[in-house]
Chain A
Amino acid sequence: DSHIQYERVGADVTMKCGSMDWDAAVTWTANGTDIDESHLNGSYLILKNVDLSQSGQYSCYEGSSWHLKYQTQLRVGTPPKEPVLMCRSNNYPKGFYCSWHLPTPTYIPNYFNISVIHGTKDMVCEKDAVPKNRCHIRYLQLFSTVKYKVTLTVTNALGKNFTTLTFDEFAIVKPDPPESVVAKPVPNNPRRLEVSWQNPSSWPDPESFPLKFFLRYRPLILDQWQHVELSDGTSHTITDAYAGKEYIIQVAAKDNDIGTWSDWSVAVHATPWTEEPKHLTTEAQITETTSASTSSFMAPPTTKICDKGAVVGSGAMAVCWTAGLVVAAYSILFI
């Protein structure tokens, strides 16, 4: 006889050798290795305070003939803790999905059952093939004030547990992040970056259910984000970028009327257009430090060609007024 036996971690386990008498001479093995007689009480195998490492195949053989008299798979595990359940609509108004997991493993097989009730109506949550711990529901009604109640029960051989979520139709609406975010410099504009993106492909009808967007950006050298909320369109031009600085940019989406913001999109990097490197640019890179201030900073003046009459000094130290101002401004900026 071979079967599976489930026991809790820390339990004391007694295994009988099938129908053998208590005083029969037997040998027990665990995964093919003989078990010391100190674990035997007559022909019974006693395992005290079992732990996970004691899971395995236990076999009992008659003493003289070595006939196999009993075999069992011992699975040491735990009853399930309260499962973690989440429901969300990323494809409104088509439907929503629920997904779940256990906060800690049980080490033995678990079975999940989900029920969804809308008012008095039972709804079927169709299991997804991938991932396994997910199911989806199509909305039969829209704009209902009646709440949805989702109950997830998890059962294994050692116990069961459950959790319940109750929510409104609108509350769980959360789009996926925008896709294909692209940020590009704007030629001849050292302070601009053009950002564009697309609606998440999972959002089924952006024309009837438009999304609004939140864009955040910062230069890599600073921690503080700038934010812009955009009620329509899938592009935006940043006009206050610091010249020559690499930026990190992300976008989030939300239904125009209901629900919550998506997670942030994948981050993209971009640097505003700059002229070909000159001695001023090189000097700026050498003296670059992290600045404590943000949008209150004045942009450095655009480098201009000197007028002949604006030259001060002579020989190797000749500089023009405007060049001197630029150098001074850069120096102040990077102190």
Chain B
Amino acid sequence: MAAADSPSAALRRDLCSRGIRLAGKMRADVVDLLDAYVEQQGLDASASVAAMEGVPLAAVERWDEQTGTQRLLENLAAYRAFRALLAQMLEEQREQLGEAEAGLGRALAALLLQVSAFAYHLEELLRLESRGIPGEEEAGPPPPPRLSLFEQKLRGLGVLRELAQWAVRSVRDLRQLAKPSPATAAAPGLAESP
């Protein structure tokens, strides 16, 4: 197919492959961090955490029917939210804890960097698709009410769990994106002017 041989198609495949590796590494690190977080925060690993406001849910219906652009936009929105949430968690860690959990703080900071890098990677993919990159909200949502220490810990658990799910979903999404598109313009995710 002509589209599969074009430089932009090759670049898209390359970006997708790198993104898949980034997401895979991110997931492995989140899983390790989750174990450490549960232990150090004294939580029950099997505790159910209700969906919390502001935490992007990875769960999706009709995932297989999504277009490439939908996938990229939803991923980007999610990782931007995680960037803010992890930054908040890091701040809370610094307030709460001393040296005992310094390792946890460093792991959170490293994860925040990976999330930021992945969000940037998604923006690159969107540029390649000639899609406008949605601007980040200037003011953002109103700051959530101050949570108790326990609520902070639970929300942190929820954030890390959803991030782990998103990392798997992102791998799947990028694999879909990396597939050669049909030659017709009707293929999902092909470059179109907005």
- A to B CB contacts below 8 Å, 21 in the list: A93-B64, A141-B60, A141-B61, A143-B58, A143-B59, A143-B60, A143-B169, A143-B172, A144-B58, A144-B165, A145-B49, A145-B57, A145-B58, A145-B162, A145-B165, A146-B59, A147-B48, A170-B168, A208-B172, A208-B175, A208-B176
Residues of A within 8 A of B58 (CB): 143-145
Q: How many chain B residues touch the partner (CB < 8 A)?
A: 23
Residues of B participating in the A interface, judged by any CB pair closer than 8 Å? 24, 27, 48-49, 57-61, 63-64, 158, 161-162, 165-166, 168-169, 171-172, 175-176, 179
Interface centre among A142, A144, A170, A207 (most CB of B within 10 A): A142
A143 contacts across to B, CB distance below 8 A = 58-60, 63, 165-166, 168-169, 172
DSSP class of A's interface residues: helix, strand, loop or mixed? Answer: loop
Given A141-B60, A142-B169, A145-B49, output 19 extra A-B contacts at Cβ < 8 Å.
A93-B63, A142-B59, A142-B60, A143-B169, A144-B59, A145-B57, A145-B59, A145-B158, A145-B161, A145-B162, A170-B168, A207-B175, A207-B179, A208-B172, A208-B176, A208-B179, A210-B175, A257-B27, A257-B172
Output the nearest chain A residue to B170 by Cβ-Cβ distance: A143
Q: Which residues of A contact B168 (CB under 8 A)?
A: 143, 170, 257-258
| Chain A residues in 8 Å Cβ range of B171 | 257
Interface of B is mostly: helix
Interface size on A, as a range, is 10 to 19
User: Within the complex, what minimum Cβ distance (angstroms) separates A22 from chain B?
Assistant: 61
A286 sits at the interface (CB 8 A):
no
**CB 8 Å contact bits of A174-209 with B (1 = contact, 0 = none):** 000000000000000000000000000000000111
Q: How far is the CB of A226 from chain B (nearest CB, A)?
A: 26
Q: In the bound complex, how far is the Cα of B59 from the Cα of A170, in angstroms?
A: 12
Q: Is A140 an interface residue (CB 8 A)?
A: yes
In the complex, which residue of chain B has the Cβ closest to the Cβ of A140?
B61
In the complex, what distance in Å separates the CA atom of A141 from the CA atom of B48? Answer: 18
Contacts of A257 in B (CB 8 A): 24, 27, 168, 171-172
A146 to B166, CA, bound (A): 14
**Shortest Cβ distance from residue A259 to the other chain B in the assembled complex, whole angstroms:** 11
